[in-house]
Amino acid sequence: MTAGEPSLFSEAEETFVEVAVPVPLRRRFTYRLSPGLSDAVRPGSRVAVPFSGRKLPAFVLGRTGRPPADVKRVHRVAGLLEPEPVFPDELLAFLLSAADYYMHPVGEVLRAAAPALPAGALRRLADEGFLAKGETLPGARVGTRTTLVVRRTASPAEGRLGERQRALLALVEERGEVEIDELRAHVREPRATVRSLVRRGFVETESREVIADPYFHTPVERDAPPEPNEAQAAAIERIGGAVRERRAEAFLLHGVTGSGKTEVYLRVIAEARRQGRGALLLVPEIALTPQLVARFRARFGDGIAVLHSALTDRERDDAWRALRSGNVTLAIGARSALFAPVPDLGVVVVDEEHDPSFKQEEGFRYHARDMALLRAHRAGAVCVLGSATPSVETYHLAERERITLLELPDRATSQRLPSVEIVDLTRNKSGPSGHPLISAPLHRSLERCLEAGGQAILFLNRRGFAPSLRCKACGEVLECPACSVALTEHRRAGVLRCHYCDYATPPGETCPRCGAPELDRIGLGTEKLEDTLAEVFAPARVARLDRDTASGSGVEAVLDRLRRRETDILVGTQMVTKGHDIPGVTLVGVVLADQSLAFPDFRASERTYQLLSQVAGRSGRGEVPGHVVFQTFQPRHEAVVRAASHDYLGFYRSELRARGELGYVPFARLVAVRVDAGDESKARAAAASLAKVAAEHPAARDRSVRVLGPAPAPIARLRGRWRYRVVLRGPDRRALRAVAAAVAARIDEGLAPARASVDIDPVSML
């Protein structure tokens, strides 16, 4: 019987397995195992299978009994791709739970979490006839790189040695073990010399995988842990105790900017390592990874795996396999590092837990923070969520004692939080520079900062959405009367539209609040601001940091120049708000603090508060006190006022009241159904059909779940496709999931030519 030939399963000894195939189908498939594979294949193994005329890699979920009665033929697994399962039991069980929670095809979830395919396995499948000449399996592929390690044998050997043999043996005895590549620098023809010593019993060799990582080229001095302050010590003891007792407990570490949260993470991870357990640290931005890796290397050495999307397939695969083998037990990375195969996971840390970048917005739409809580719980591990500005949902969990709240109320150093000045842009027009977004107070603050030898960061909040309207006289952003989110201007249709409930109204000529006839479209230009600063404040050195000017290692290069004081003024977008500790920065200016309040999203106020607080925290982290300037058209807005006074709790209470009145998260849950098509009428019709399925569900008919829309997405057309959205909202999680499942089932039936997806717990409403 050739590879992939179907079986009539008449043989009593046949073994069947359930597998997940990486296709957009929400179901599992049954295959049979040949006797030669029966013992080798285990849950988590990656195998090759024939599937609907194609040949694909797949993942074994477990053994199963005979297939359902209506299945007449079952294909067999063609071969095993790796000798060991790619997913250990703990990680596989977690991934299956995550796929179920987000209603996403399990095969696609496992493909997203798996390492690259081993090239050697594909050659073997070709030799066995499953793959034709030139044929391969889809997915990234890497070859395994190995080196030869030489070490002294346990039993001493005797005899006279030549000069090269003595030199090589002396180096091995000094180091314990030496890689063959390093021996080339000390001995001519090292391989021949090693072979002669092996034959005589002086040394032995081992083939070992070479692990490449871009973060370990530069040596880092080991650090001495600083003495924690009282609040840090209490947090370390509380979390460390849970680690020692192997309690699956979750903590919110709420600490002001500069309060020393990272030192708490380091101590807690050190405790897990003392217990022989692994650790995982998630950060929101790739830009934060290099400085964090350097700090962790200084404490723990180079036994760290770094995982994020900017790495090459080779680098990512090396890090993944180092963890899977147990050679490395600490992983640091951005969102996707959640799937790292950390052995015996003891602690999971999510730094800046509030950051929306922890939510994957395409494909498998998981939230790494929420799933970190699940993974830690399932692994019997501690989970620490850290932030100076916790999300409303997370702090609400702490208030309800679902997770344990720990506070770091003061900065770890003697420095106080920076002073904050609010500049009302309805009264303060452009200053001496003439640029409309550099007011006279900000201009004067920049002059004082530079004269004193300080450095400045100017933050351009780009989280606004250009087709929103704001009154130039009073600063009011036009909002939906029912949903409390910014209305979006559709100029072609001549309406302002709400992208939650589809409320629409003509834009009008005057502000509905103050009657002024000055309605302004929101937007700002970063390059013009950079040029103006370089000209007006010459010879100050001005640099810019955003996704247009820096990516990958370029981000760190820009920040390194700021740390070395080779840059005086850094103009940046959200990359400058997160985690950077640069002692020379004494001034932070927020060019347009209320820009993100125009975002068509109920979280706009929360995100504005978080952005303002985080960027303000970059100021005054050295010896010189910091100062912050918020320029805004809405100087009395709750988010602006509370951020200026460093009052998180006051903002949280106010925001919670508003959410309660409108029935938003955390008092209800959301599901976003997203539809797109090349033709607008097809997208609208598909969205309407899904909304009808939702509205006819019993949970929607009895009002347990509200169905909002369909409505055009705020970005109505993207990459040539028209986008529509239906929002499901309700306080009863089970009822909401039942409606979402009905919609997902309709999507699985097909909506061609439209495409649709279900987003559980959406973060971005675009």
More confident residue, 622 or 272: 272
Mean pLDDT, range 560-570, rounded to an integer: 89
pLDDT of residue 717: 77
Q: Give CA separation, 137 vs 43, 486, 610, in Å.
A: 21, 47, 45
* Tens of pLDDT, residues 313-366: 778 888 888 899 888 999 999 899 999 999 999 999 999 999 999 999 889 999
**pLDDT score recorded for residue 155:** 74
pLDDT of residue 9: 43
As a whole number, mean pLDDT of residues 16-25 equals 92
- Cα atoms in the Cβ-side hemisphere of radius 13 Å centred on 21: 20
Closest CA to 320 of 299, 336, 344, 296: 336
* DSSP designation for 22: S
- Predicted confidence (pLDDT) at residue 10 exceeds the cutoff of 70: no
- Percent of the chain beyond pLDDT 70? 91
Residues whose CB falls within 8 Å of the CB of residue 712, separated by 6 or more in sequence, listed in order: 490, 497, 499, 722, 723, 724, 725
Give the separation between CA 585 and CA 588, rounded to whole angstroms: 8
Q: Please count the CA atoms within 13 angstroms of the CA of 397 that sit on its side-chain side.
A: 17
Strand pairing category for 469-471 and 488-490 = unpaired
Q: Please report, as a single letter, which amino acid is at residue 19.
A: V
Q: Which residue has the tokens 């997208």?
A: 683
* Residue position matching structure tokens 């059909």: 689
Q: Is the pLDDT of residue 145 over 70?
A: no
- At 213 the pLDDT is 54
Confidence of residue 11 (pLDDT cuts 50, 70, 90): very low
Q: Residue 463: is its pLDDT beyond 50? A: no
More confident site: 741 or 13: 741
Which of the residue ranges 423-427, 476-480, 627-631 would you say has the lowest mean pLDDT? 476-480
pLDDT score at 530: 82
Task: Spell out a b/e string for 174-209, using b for 16 or more CB atoms within 10 Å of the CB, else e.
Answer: eeeebeeeebeeebeebeebbebbeeeebbebeeee
Q: What residues contact residue 650 under an 8 Å CB cut-off, 6+ apart?
A: 642
- Our CA angle for 260, 262, 265, nearest 5°, is 120
If you average pLDDT over residues 207-213, what whole number do you get? 63
Where residue 210 falls among pLDDT bands split at 50, 70, 90? low
Calculate Rg over the CA atoms of the chain.
29
- Asked whether the predicted pLDDT for residue 171 surpasses 80, the reply is yes
Average of per-residue pLDDT across 678-702: 96
Angle between helices 89-101 and 368-379 (to 10 degrees): 140
Q: Which helix (H) or strand (E) holds 400?
A: none
Q: How far is CA 664 from the centre of its chain?
A: 24
Least confident residue range of 136-140, 244-248, 648-652: 136-140
Task: Locate the DSSP E strands across 93-188.
Answer: 117-118, 141-142, 146-152, 177-179
Q: What is the mean pLDDT of residues 439-468?
A: 83
Average pLDDT over residues 300-308: 85
Whether 231 has a pLDDT exceeding 50, the answer reads yes
Closest CA to 189 of 165, 170, 157: 165
The whole-number pLDDT of residue 287 equals: 58
Give the residue, 205 or 415, on which the prediction is more confident.
Answer: 205
Query: Could you tell me which of 49, 52, 56, 68 has the C-alpha nearest to residue 9?
Result: 68
455 pLDDT exceeds 80? yes
Structural contact between residues 709 and 725, judged by C-beta atoms closer than 8 angstroms: yes
Instruction: Give the model's confidence band at 550: pLDDT under 50 very low, under 70 low, under 90 confident, else very high.
Output: low
By CB atoms closer than 10 A (0-12, 13-18, 19+), residue 317 is buried
Burial environment of residue 434 by CB neighbours within 10 A (0 to 12, 13 to 18, 19 or more): exposed
Strand partners, 248: none
What is the per-residue pLDDT across 355-405, written as a single tens digit (0 to 9) for each?
999 999 889 999 999 999 999 999 999 999 999 999 999 999 999 999 999
Residue 625 DSSP label: P
Read off the tokens for 268.
Answer: 């807690």
Q: Tell me how far apart the terminal alpha carbons of the chain are, to the nearest angstrom.
A: 53
CB atoms within 10 A of CB 132: 9
**For the ranges 44-53, 65-74, 245-254, 278-287, which has the lowest average pLDDT?**
65-74
Of 103-112, 592-601, 625-634, 723-732, least confident by mean pLDDT is: 592-601
pLDDT, tens digit, for every residue of 593-651?
Answer: 888 887 778 899 999 999 999 888 888 888 889 999 999 999 999 999 999 999 999 99
The pTM assigned to this predicted structure is 0.82
Q: How far apart are CA 664 and CA 671, in angstroms?
A: 12
Contact between 729 and 662 (Cβ < 8 Å): no
| pLDDT at 579 > cutoff 80 | no
